[in-house]
Structure 1
Amino acid sequence: MLAAIAVTTAATAVPLGLTAAHAAWPTAERPGQAADGTNSRPAVIPALQEWTGGRGTHRISAASRVVTGGTGAKDLLPLARRITEEIAEITGVRLAAPRTITGAPRGGEILLRRDPGARHERGQERYEEEGYSLEVTEGTVTVTAPAYSGVYYGTRSLLQILLQDDERSRLPVGTAEDWPNYRLRGFMLDVGRRYFTPGFIRDYLGFMGWFKLNDLQLHLNDNEIHAPEGDWSRAYDAFRLRSEKPEWDGLAAEDGSYSRADWDSFEDTAARHAVQLTPEIDAPAHARSFVRFRPDLGLNGGNSDHLDLENPETTAFVKKVFDEFTPWFRSPEVHYGADEYTGAEELYRGFFNTMAEHLRSLGKHPRAWGSLTHMAGGAGGYDRDVTIHSWNNGWYGPQAAKADGYEIVNTNDSLLYIVPFADYYHGHGLDGRYLYGSWEPHVFPGNQSLQPGDPQLRGAMSAVWNDLVHATYTQQDVHGLVQKTFGILAQKMWSGAAAQMPYADFTTALRRAADGPGMTTIRPTLPEPDDLAFQVKATASSKTAGTSAAHATDGDPLTRWTSDRENGPWLAVDLGEPHEIARVSLDWSGDHGRAYDIEVSDDGRTWRTVVSRDDRDRPGRDELTFPATTVRHVRLKGREGKKIRYGLWSLQVLAAPDLARDKKITASSSETSGLVPENANDGDPTTRWASQYTDDQWLAVDLGGTHRVRRVVLDWEAAAGRDYDIQISADGTVWTTVVERRGRQEAGVDTVDFTEPRDAAHVRMKGLARQTDYGYSLWTFEVHA
Structure 2
Amino acid sequence: MRLKALLLAGRPVCLPLVSTLALLLPTASTAAADPVPVNAAPAVVPAVQQWTGGKGRVVLADHPRVATPVDSPELRRLVEQFTGETADVTNHQISPVVDAGGNGDIVIQVDPDADFGAVLPRLRAEAYRIDTDRGLVTVTGAAQQGAVEGTRTLLQLLAGSADHRSLPVGSVVDYPNYALRGLMLDVGRRYFTPEFIRSYIRWMGYQKLNTLQLHLNDNEISPANWSTAQAAFRLRSDNPAFAGLAAADGSYTKADWDSFEDTAAAVGVTIIPEIDAPAHARAFTRFKPGIGLHKGDSDELDLSKPAATDFMKSVYAEFTPWFRGPTVGIGADEYKGPAADFKGYVNTIAPYVRSLGKQVTMWGSQKGISGGGAGYDKDITVDSWNNGWYGPQQAIADGYPKVINSNDNWLYVVPFANYYHGQGLDGKAIFDSWQPNVFSGDQSLAPQDPHLLGAMPGVWNDLVHEDYTELQVHGLIEKSLPALAQKMWSGTRAGTDYQAFLDTVRAVGQGPGTGYLPDTLGSDDVTADLALGRTTTASSTEGAKWQASNATDGLADTRWSSKRTDGEWLQVDLGSVRRVSSATLTWESAYARDYDLQVSTDGTTWTTVSQQRGRTTAGTDKLTFTPTDARYVRMQGIHRGTAYGYSLYSLDVRGAADLAAGRPATASSSETAAFTPDRAFDNNGTTRWSSDRTDDQWLQVDLGTVNTVSAATLVWEAAYARDYDLQVSTDGTTWTTVSQQRGRTTAGTDTLTFTPTDTRYVRMQGIHRGTAYGYSLYSLRLGN
Which of the five TM-score ranges fits, normalised by the shorter chain? 0.7 to 0.9
Whether contact under 8 Å (2:362, 2:380) holds in the other structure is yes
* Residue aligning to 2:696: none
Whether contact under 8 Å (1:136, 1:175) holds in the other structure is yes
Whether contact under 8 Å (1:112, 1:144) holds in the other structure is yes
SS in 2 for 1:196: coil
- Which of the residues 345, 351, 360 maps onto 2:345? 351
**Residues 551-597 of structure 1: per-residue CA shift (max 9 Å, x gap):** xxxxxxxxxxxxxxxxxxxxxxxxxxxxxxxxxxxxxxxxxxxxxxx
- Which of the residues 656, 661, 669 maps onto 2:541? 669
* Residue aligning to 2:651: 780
The whole-number CA distance in structure 1 between the counterparts of 2:363 and 2:163 is 47
SS in 2 for 1:69: coil
Once the two structures are TM-superposed, the CA of residue 741 in structure 1 deviates from its matched residue by 4.0
Whether contact under 8 Å (1:114, 1:147) holds in the other structure is yes
Q: Does 2:722 correspond to 1:723?
A: no
Q: Does 2:65 correspond to 1:65?
A: yes
**Residues 322-355 of structure 1: per-residue CA shift (max 9 Å, x gap):** 1111121121111100001111111111112221
Q: Does 2:470 correspond to 1:475?
A: yes
For structure 2, which runs of at least 5 residues remain unmatched after alignment?
1-23, 26-33, 656-752, 754-784
Once the two structures are TM-superposed, the CA of residue 710 in structure 1 deviates from its matched residue by 11
Say what the alpha-carbon RMSD is for the aligned residues: 3.8
Once the two structures are TM-superposed, the CA of residue 115 in structure 1 deviates from its matched residue by 1.1
- Which of the residues 103, 108, 112 maps onto 1:112? 108
Q: Does 2:189 correspond to 1:319?
A: no
Structure 1 residues 318, 140: closer, same or farther in 2, change over 3 A?
Answer: same
**Residues 694-728 of structure 1: per-residue CA shift (max 9 Å, x gap):** 67794544869999999994511444513254599
* Residue aligning to 1:525: 520
- Which of the residues 452, 460, 485 maps onto 1:457? 452
* Residue aligning to 2:214: 218
Question: Which amino acid in structure 2 is aligned with residue 158 of structure 1?
Answer: L
The whole-number CA distance in structure 2 between the counterparts of 1:772 and 1:330 is 63
- Which of the residues 92, 95, 98 maps onto 1:94? 92
Question: Which amino acid in structure 2 is aligned with residue 249 of structure 1?
Answer: A
* Residue aligning to 2:438: 443
**Residues 287-306 of structure 1: per-residue CA shift (max 9 Å, x gap):** 00110111011111111001
Whether contact under 8 Å (1:180, 1:494) holds in the other structure is yes
- Which of the residues 525, 533, 549 maps onto 1:678? 549
The whole-number CA distance in structure 2 between the counterparts of 1:35 and 1:352 is 67
The whole-number CA distance in structure 1 between the counterparts of 2:471 and 2:578 is 41
**Residues 426-450 of structure 1: per-residue CA shift (max 9 Å, x gap):** 2221111111111111112223222
The whole-number CA distance in structure 2 between the counterparts of 1:150 and 1:377 is 41
SS in 2 for 1:487: helix
Once the two structures are TM-superposed, the CA of residue 135 in structure 1 deviates from its matched residue by 0.5
Whether contact under 8 Å (2:293, 2:302) holds in the other structure is yes
The whole-number CA distance in structure 2 between the counterparts of 1:729 and 1:253 is 53
* Residue aligning to 1:380: 374
Whether contact under 8 Å (1:670, 1:677) holds in the other structure is no
The whole-number CA distance in structure 1 between the counterparts of 2:577 and 2:160 is 31
- Give the TM-score normalised by structure 1: 0.72
* Residue aligning to 1:51: 51
Whether contact under 8 Å (2:350, 2:377) holds in the other structure is yes
**Residues 603-625 of structure 1: per-residue CA shift (max 9 Å, x gap):** xxxxxxxxxxxxxxxxxxxxxxx
Which deviates further from its counterpart, 174-183 or 710-719?
710-719
Whether contact under 8 Å (1:685, 1:780) holds in the other structure is no
Question: Which amino acid in structure 2 is aligned with residue 202 of structure 1?
Answer: R
Q: Does 2:178 correspond to 1:182?
A: yes
Question: Which amino acid in structure 1 is aligned with residue 438 of structure 2?
Answer: V
* Residue aligning to 1:39: 39
SS in 1 for 2:456: strand
The whole-number CA distance in structure 2 between the counterparts of 1:255 and 1:774 is 49
The whole-number CA distance in structure 2 between the counterparts of 1:364 and 1:416 is 26
- Which of the residues 390, 409, 416 maps onto 1:414? 409
The whole-number CA distance in structure 2 between the counterparts of 1:322 and 1:707 is 58
The whole-number CA distance in structure 1 between the counterparts of 2:475 and 2:630 is 38
The whole-number CA distance in structure 1 between the counterparts of 2:621 and 2:487 is 35
Whether contact under 8 Å (1:126, 1:182) holds in the other structure is no
Question: Which amino acid in structure 1 is aligned with residue 453 of structure 2?
Answer: R
The whole-number CA distance in structure 2 between the counterparts of 1:775 and 1:460 is 39
1:576-615 aligned at under 5 Å gives the runs none
Once the two structures are TM-superposed, the CA of residue 519 in structure 1 deviates from its matched residue by 2.8
**Residues 247-274 of structure 1: per-residue CA shift (max 9 Å, x gap):** 1111111122112222222222211111
Structure 1 residues 63, 303: closer, same or farther in 2, change over 3 A?
Answer: same
Whether contact under 8 Å (1:205, 1:216) holds in the other structure is yes
Question: Which amino acid in structure 2 is aligned with residue 748 of structure 1?
Answer: T
Question: Which amino acid in structure 1 is aligned with residue 84 of structure 2?
Answer: E
* Residue aligning to 2:77: 78
Whether contact under 8 Å (1:720, 1:747) holds in the other structure is no
Whether contact under 8 Å (2:574, 2:631) holds in the other structure is no
**Residues 32-84 of structure 1: per-residue CA shift (max 9 Å, x gap):** xx9982100001100000000011111224221112124x5453122212222
Which deviates further from its counterpart, 279-288 or 767-776?
767-776
- Which of the residues 731, 744, 747 maps onto 2:619? 747
SS in 2 for 1:525: coil
Question: Which amino acid in structure 1 is aligned with residue 198 of structure 2?
Answer: R
The whole-number CA distance in structure 2 between the counterparts of 1:120 and 1:502 is 27
Question: Which amino acid in structure 2 is aligned with residue 371 of structure 1?
Answer: S
Once the two structures are TM-superposed, the CA of residue 402 in structure 1 deviates from its matched residue by 2.8
SS in 2 for 1:341: coil
**Residues 609-667 of structure 1: per-residue CA shift (max 9 Å, x gap):** xxxxxxxxxxxxxxxxxxxxxxxxxxxxxxxxxxxxxxxxxxxxxx9x87x98345246
The whole-number CA distance in structure 2 between the counterparts of 1:300 and 1:281 is 22
**Residues 77-120 of structure 1: per-residue CA shift (max 9 Å, x gap):** 222122222223333x313321111x3x2122100001133353
The whole-number CA distance in structure 1 between the counterparts of 2:629 and 2:276 is 62
* Residue aligning to 1:261: 255
SS in 1 for 2:88: helix
* Residue aligning to 1:192: 188
Structure 1 residues 326, 694: closer, same or farther in 2, change over 3 A?
Answer: farther
Once the two structures are TM-superposed, the CA of residue 676 in structure 1 deviates from its matched residue by 3.5
Q: Does 2:263 correspond to 1:392?
A: no
Structure 1 residues 772, 173: closer, same or farther in 2, change over 3 A?
Answer: farther
The whole-number CA distance in structure 2 between the counterparts of 1:473 and 1:364 is 35
SS in 1 for 2:457: strand
Which deviates further from its counterpart, 440-449 or 730-739?
730-739
The whole-number CA distance in structure 1 between the counterparts of 2:169 and 2:487 is 26
Whether contact under 8 Å (1:692, 1:775) holds in the other structure is yes
Whether contact under 8 Å (1:665, 1:701) holds in the other structure is yes
Q: Does 2:361 correspond to 1:361?
A: no
Structure 1 residues 388, 736: closer, same or farther in 2, change over 3 A?
Answer: same
* Residue aligning to 2:277: 283
Question: Which amino acid in structure 2 is aligned with residue 196 of structure 1?
Answer: F
The whole-number CA distance in structure 2 between the counterparts of 1:765 and 1:488 is 33
Whether contact under 8 Å (1:73, 1:113) holds in the other structure is no
The whole-number CA distance in structure 2 between the counterparts of 1:355 and 1:250 is 23
Structure 1 residues 170, 305: closer, same or farther in 2, change over 3 A?
Answer: same
Once the two structures are TM-superposed, the CA of residue 526 in structure 1 deviates from its matched residue by 2.5
* Residue aligning to 1:273: 267
Whether contact under 8 Å (1:221, 1:281) holds in the other structure is yes
Whether contact under 8 Å (2:592, 2:637) holds in the other structure is no
Once the two structures are TM-superposed, the CA of residue 765 in structure 1 deviates from its matched residue by 3.9
Question: Which amino acid in structure 2 is aligned with residue 459 of structure 1?
Answer: G
Question: Which amino acid in structure 2 is aligned with residue 469 of structure 1?
Answer: V
* Residue aligning to 1:147: 143
User: How many pairs are equivalent?
Assistant: 622
Question: Which amino acid in structure 2 is aligned with residue 239 of structure 1?
Answer: F
Structure 1 residues 285, 515: closer, same or farther in 2, change over 3 A?
Answer: same
SS in 2 for 1:484: coil
- Which of the residues 492, 497, 512 maps onto 1:497? 492
